[in-house]
Chains A and B, each alone.
Chain A
Amino acid sequence: MEKVLKLTSDTLRKVFSVSIGSTEPGFIGPFPYLLLLRWLILLGIAARFGIHWNEYSPEKHIQILSLLGITALVALFATYVTIVPNIRRSRKLQGLFIGLDVSLITYSYFLSNNTQSDFFLFYYLPIFAANEYLGGKPTFYVFGIITGLFAAVLVLMLPTDPDPNLTIIGLLLRVFLPREVFFISVVVTSSFLVRRERTQREELSRREAEVETLLNLRNQNLERRNEELEALDAVDHVLVASAPNIEPVLEIILKRTQEIVGAPVGIVMWHNLWDGTLELKAQNGYPPDAYSTKQKMGQGIIGKVAMTKQPLLVHDITKKEWSSVYLKVVPETRSELAVPIVDGNILLGVLDVQHPKPSAFSQEDLALLQTFAVQIVIAVHSMSIYNDLEQQIRSLRSLSIITSRIQDISYDTDTVLRFLLTGLTAGEGIGFSRAMLFLTSDDGTKLVGKMAIGAQTREEAEAIWARLDSQKPNRATHHEDPLLPLLDESEMFAWALRERRQHDFPLSEALQDVVIPIQMSKGAIMECLSDGKVVIVEESEEDVFRDEIERVTTSGDRGYSFACVPLVGKGRKSIGVLVVDNRFLFNERSINKKDVNNLEAYATVMAMSIENSRLISRLADEQKSATWRDFAARLAHIISTRIVAIDGAITQFRSAVLEQADRDLREDLDNLTRLLSDSIHKAKLVLRELRQYAAPADLNTTKLDIKELILKLQREFQFSENFPIDVILPDTPLVIQGDTLRLSDAFAELINNAQQSMQPEASYRECRIIITATLEVSANMQSSMVRLEFADTGPGIPEEEKKHIFDPLISTKSKGSGLGLAIVKGVIERHDGMIEECGIPGDGACFIVRLPMIS
Chain B
Amino acid sequence: MAKILVVDDESDLRGQLKWAAEGTGREVIEADNGKQAIKLIQEHNFDLVITDLKMETESIGLDVLKAAKEKDILTQVIVITAYGTPAISVDAMRLGAFDYLERSAPGTESLEMIRLKVPLALDYRNAKQKEMRMK
Contacts and interface: CB of A to CB of B under 8 A. Distances in A.
B112 A688 contact: no
Given A644-B13, A648-B110, A651-B115, A684 B104 contact: yes
A685 interface: yes
Interface string A498-528: 0000000000000000000000000000000
Nearest to B54: A637
A687 B82 CA distance: 12
A268 B18 CA distance: 110
A652 interface: yes
A650 interface: yes
Contacts of A641: 10, 13, 104
Given A643-B104, A645-B10, A650 B109 contact: yes
Interface stretch (B68-76, B83-91, B124-132): B83-91
A763 interface: no
A645 B104 contact: no
A346 interface: no
Interface in A642-688: 643-645, 647-652, 655, 677, 681-682, 684-685, 687-688
A644 B84 contact: no
Nearest to B83: A691
Contact of B111 (A647, A684, A685, A687): A647
Contact of A648 (B13, B82, B83, B106): B13
Listed residue (A647, A681, A692) with the most chain B CB atoms within 10 angstroms of its CB: A647
Given A648-B111, A688-B83, A681 B106 contact: yes
Contact of B16 (A645, A677, A682, A695): A645
B41 to A, nearest CB: 24
Contact of A645 (B12, B85, B115): B12
B25 interface: no
Contacts of A677: 109
Interface string B95-111: 00000000111110111
A682 B106 CA distance: 7
Interface string B109-122: 11110010000000
Nearest to A639: B104
A640 B112 contact: no
Contacts of A647: 109-111
Contact of B107 (A637, A650, A681): A681
Contact of B84 (A645, A650, A682, A691): A691
A640 B82 CA distance: 10
Nearest to A696: B84
A682 B103 CA distance: 15
A644 B87 contact: no
A229 interface: no
B104 A695 contact: no
Nearest to A652: B19
Contacts of B104: 640-641, 643-644, 684, 687-688
A421 B85 CA distance: 55
Given A652-B16, A684-B105, A688-B106, A741 B86 contact: yes
A700 interface: yes
B109 A684 contact: no
A697 interface: yes
Contacts of B106: 681-682, 684-685, 688
Given A644-B13, A741-B86, A652 B111 contact: yes
Contacts of A692: 83-84
Interface string A362-388: 000000000000000000000000000
Listed residue (A652, A682, A687, A692) with the most chain B CB atoms within 10 angstroms of its CB: A652
A700 B88 CA distance: 13
Contacts of A655: 115
A85 B54 CA distance: 177
A717 B93 CA distance: 29
Q: Which 8 A-B pairs have the closest CB atoms?
A: A648-B16, A684-B106, A648-B111, A651-B111, A697-B84, A640-B104, A685-B106, A651-B112
19 contacts: A640-B82, A640-B104, A641-B13, A644-B103, A644-B110, A648-B16, A648-B110, A651-B20, A651-B112, A655-B115, A677-B109, A682-B106, A684-B107, A688-B105, A691-B83, A695-B84, A697-B84, A697-B85, A741-B86
Interface of B: 10, 12-13, 16, 19-20, 82-87, 103-107, 109-112, 115
